[in-house]
Amino acid sequence: MLQLQTYLLLLLTGIMWGGVYLLMAFGLNLIYGVMKVVNLAHGDFIVVAGLLAVTLYGAFQAGPVLAIPLATLLFLLVGLAVYRGLLAHVDTTGSQGELRTLLITFGLSSIISNIALLIWGGQYQSVPFFQSAVRLGPLFLPESLIVSSLVAFVLAFAVQFWLTRTRWGRLVRATAQSELGAASCGLNTGRIRLLTFALGAAMAGAAGALTVVLIPVQAASGGFVTVQAFTLIALGGLGNYLGALLAAILLGVIEVSSSYFLGASAASAMIYLIFILVLIVRPQGLLGHRGRI
Amino acid sequence: MALFQRPHAPRRSLPSGHLFIACLLLIALVLSACASSTSGGSSSSGPIRIGFSITETGPQSAPAKFDLQGYQLGVEAINAQGGLLGRKVQLVYYDDQGSASTAVQLYQRLITTDKVDLLVGPYQTDLTSAIAPLVTRYKMAMPAMAANLEPFSGRYPYLVQSITQTPRYMIPVIDLAATKGYKTLALLIQDTAFPRELAQGIKQEAASRGIRVVFEATYPADTNDFTALVLKAGAAKPDMIIGATYLADAEGIIRAARASNVNAKLFAFSIGPVEPEFGSALGDAANGILGTTLWFPTIKTSGNAEFVQKFRARFGRDPDYHAAMAYATMQALAAAVKMAGSLDQTKIRDAYLKLDLQTVAGEFKLNSLGQQLGYQSYVLQWQNGKQELVWPSEVATSPVQLPHPNW
């Protein structure tokens, strides 16, 4: 009985960590899905949003309830500025185009993380919110995980709804499926790309301001966050929404359970082992093209 | 002398004008050689120059800047007391950005181009290990604030340790636990060099005090989720949960323990609670948690109160243990050079090994390999959102609050 409880707890914790990882990969996935741009500064957006939440807490004892809307708004603006100022000026078509966007966003990542280093220093920072346990019968579940994963799953369904049921969402999907086709139907694809990039950046802002209650961030840890998020969306099939959800839950459950049964060092190996397996067997990702934006 | 006798030497066919110009050129040459040797070091009249690299920029720069300020204040104190060997002392340093390969290049430059008279170490064990072969090749005596014993295992005889050695970091925690009668211990170890060596020290001390390790696990540095680890540790029902950790993982373990309602009578971490960010990140959850520090502003080491006051006046902030260790390194350097009576590196190295000096960081005393035996560590506890020194009891600023209440 006690064993069963532990297994259930591990499963739930794993699913919830999946939600957290999904939250952190959201913006990256949207931007890639529509624009075929891998935003290497994604992790730095998350980290800076987290550090901003720390500053807000330090100055006003303000929690995620204030930090999330502020970070979302700020990174919406950052997204607009980055697109208008940088990405709109380069030709992103073809294989050369992908390389260019990689270089630009890599440079951006370097600039952002070093500015963050100047402002916040190199120490790991976090804020004390949602720290208690929530009792569910005999099980104790971490409040921070419950909140983060709930937000993640709600956001996942909201974006899904937006993409499939609203006019703007349909325009975004049309651009994602064929930019040329969308343009020839008279859509202003430049504006749609701008909107997408800004939304993706705003999502990173929201994710950062929330997950900082769970994962301490440091000015230089953005690169690692980007890699984690990229692994997740590659596993799910780049730009694939359902795939990312599935991959996130899979990764969370594997991480937590293998950490329990095989030890924590084995857990991180397991994740990349599965990643490599998927790349060999299904290089298009778990769901591949089905369910793509 | 021969130079000035030349004009009086019997004249050959060389006209006197030419000879005069040749003499002037020769004198100019000698003078310029003298001048360049003053700026290039190894002069016996200018200031004694102490070289090092330090991480002024980059993610590791926060503690390294305390090191730098400790060195600076240390040199100012030496100069205020009349310098060394009758000469002023001066620092020559560069930014290594926390990169081991950059540090190697910079120490090469300090030794061969700048020709500094003395060396002190950079911040971090990794960088010290990287420059150790170079420093040894040039036979330069160097005190280094590297806590791991690896650079002081006999391969690099010119390196001496000027910080508490890693295996001793958590000995006072075990000592405190033993006096409280705690018998069992769960040990969580980050899988990197410093925590691994630290864990060895904990296990050795625990064994000698009759404390059993009932659970032990390592985890990678990039671990986010500590739930599984903490659940397993808690299942062994230990009296104590001790982490050989840095800051982020110490916070992760406390968060997971609280959220999963895993309890123990004592929670202690190596690095983590000593950082002010531990308190701001965890809030109430930080209270009652024990940590290790190598120095505290209130301890009664030689000249400590004066050091704290001078540091505040000079830099406008409170010193931390890095600053104290760096200041003490300069105290040891001054004592060793005075004992050696010259800048002969082998004599200075031997002097370091013979030193028994009371510094702000405690007693500086080495064994024959250059490992630090004198410096110790202290236990602090977060109480009401503040760090208090709680062990050893004779230096405590507040009585220790144990056992840790259930979450």
pLDDT score of B282 more than 60: yes
Q: Where are the alpha helices (DSSP H) in B165-303?
A: 171-179, 193-208, 227-235, 247-259, 276-282
| Domain identity same for B336 and B223 | no
Does B344 fall in a domain?
Answer: yes
Measured CA to CA, the distance from residue B322 to residue B145 in angstroms comes to 9
Collapsing DSSP to helix, strand or coil, B327 comes out as helix
Please report whether residue B402 resides in a domain: no
Would you give the end-to-end CA distance of chain B in angstroms? 86
* Residue B297 pLDDT exceeds 90: yes
Q: What is the DSSP letter of B285?
A: G
Average pLDDT estimate for B358-383: 96
Position B34 in a domain: no
- Measuring CA to CA, how many Å separate B10 from each of B2, B4, B15, B22, B26? 14, 13, 12, 16, 19
Give residue-wise pLDDT tens across range B100-159. Answer: 999 999 999 999 999 999 999 999 888 999 999 999 999 999 999 999 998 999 999 999
Instruction: Summarize the confidence of residues A61-70 as an average pLDDT.
Output: 90
pLDDT of residue B365: 96
Cβ pair A160, A30 in contact under 8 A: no
Which pLDDT value is given to residue B101? Answer: 95
> What pLDDT digit, counting tens, does each position of A254-293 carry?
999 999 998 888 888 888 888 888 888 888 888 776 656 6
pLDDT of residue B8: 41
Model confidence at B232: pLDDT above 80: yes
Q: What is the pLDDT of residues A229-240, one digit of tens each?
A: 999 998 888 888
Query: What pLDDT score does B7 carry?
Result: 39
CB nearest A127 (choices: B229, B248, B281): B281
pLDDT, mean over chain A: 89
Residue of B nearest to A145 (CA): B259
Report CA-CA distances (Å) from B238 to B202, B213, B214, B219, B230: 15, 8, 7, 19, 11
Which pLDDT score, from 0 to 100, does residue A43 have? 96
Give the residue carrying structure tokens 């069963």.
A4
Segment (H or E) for A165: helix A143-165
Our CA-based measurement puts residue A265 at a distance from the nearest CA of chain B, in whole angstroms, of: 5
Place of tokens 């390969």: B101
Residues of chain B in contact with residue A268, where contact means CB-CB under 8 angstroms, are 220, 222-223
Residue B40's pLDDT is what?
A: 43
B228 with A264: Cβ contact below 8 A: yes
pLDDT at B238: 97
B-chain residue closest to A16, CA distance: B225
pLDDT for the residue B3: 41
Locate tokens 């778990």: which residue? A286
Q: Are residues B192 and B322 in the same domain?
A: no
Confidence of residue A96 (pLDDT cuts 50, 70, 90): confident
If one counts the domains in chain B, the total is 2
Higher per-residue pLDDT: A62 or A111: A111
Residues B383 and B241 in one domain: yes
Residue B79, CA distances (Å) to B53, B141, B341, B360 in order: 21, 21, 17, 18
Q: Quick one: pLDDT band at residue A160, thresholds 50, 70, 90? A: confident
Helix (H, G, I), strand (E, B) or coil at B180: coil
Over residues B332-343, mean pLDDT: 96
Regarding whether B276 and B192 lie in a shared domain, the answer is: yes
What's the mean pLDDT in A116-124?
89
The whole-number average pLDDT for the span A80-90 is 92
B191/A contact by beta carbon, under 8 A = yes
B259:A140 CB<8 A: yes
B260 and A140 within 8 Å at the Cβ level: the answer is yes
pLDDT at B25 > cutoff 60: no
pLDDT at residue B23 is higher than 70: no
Q: Which of residues 246-265 of B touch A (CB under 8 A)?
A: 247-248, 251-252, 255-256, 258-261
pLDDT at A268: 80
ipTM greater than 0.95:
no
Same structural domain for residues B144 and B238? no
Do B240 and B383 fall within a single domain?
A: yes
- Beta strands per DSSP E along B274-370: 290-293, 356-359, 362-365
Please check whether residue B82 lies inside any domain of the structure.
yes
Residue range of the domain that includes B314: 48-164+300-365
% pLDDT > 70, chain B: 89
Per-residue pLDDT at A249 exceeds 90: yes
3-class DSSP assignment, residue B275: coil
In B, which residues are within 8 Å of A128 by CB distance? 280-285
Q: Which two tokens stand for residue A98?
A: 């992908």
Give percent of chain A with pLDDT exceeding 90. 49
CA distance B133 to chain A (A): 29
Q: Has residue B24 been placed in a domain?
A: no
Q: Which two tokens mark B3?
A: 């130079």
Helix crossing, A2-35 with A222-236: angle to 10°? 90
- Domain presence at residue B76: yes
Closest CA to A113 of A40, A190, A44, A215: A44
- Residue B328 near residue B68, CB atoms below 8 Å: no
Q: How far is CA A184 from each of CA A37, A171, A175, A188, A190, rounded to the nearest angstrom?
A: 22, 13, 11, 9, 13
**Alpha carbon of A75: minimum distance to chain B alpha carbons (Å):** 23
Same domain? B157 vs B176: no
| The pLDDT of residue A157 | 84
Model pTM score:
0.86
- Give the model's pLDDT for residue A284: 82
Taking residues B29-51, what's their average pLDDT? 61
What pLDDT score was predicted for residue B90?
A: 96
pLDDT score for A131: 87
Do B158 and B212 sit in the same domain of this protein?
A: no
Residues of A in Cβ contact (< 8 Å) with B64: none
Residue B150 lies in a domain: yes
Task: Give the domains, in start order, of chain A with CATH numbers.
Answer: 7-129+140-281 (1.10.3470)
**Quick one: B222 and B175 in the same domain?**
yes
A contacts of B256 (beta carbons < 8 Å): 142
| Domain identity same for B108 and B203 | no
pLDDT for B38 beyond 80: no
In a domain, B39, yes or no: no
Cβ contact, residue pair A126, B277, below 8 Å = yes
Tell me the per-residue pLDDT of B198-220, one tens digit each, with 9 for 90 and over.
999 999 999 999 999 999 999 99
Indicate whether B152 and B176 sit together in one domain: no
pLDDT for position A1: 54
Q: Indicate whether B275 and B383 sit together in one domain.
A: yes
State the CATH number of the domain containing residue B205: 3.40.50.2300
Residues 254-283 of A with CB under 8 A from B: 255-257, 259-260, 263-265, 267-268
pLDDT attached to residue B18: 58
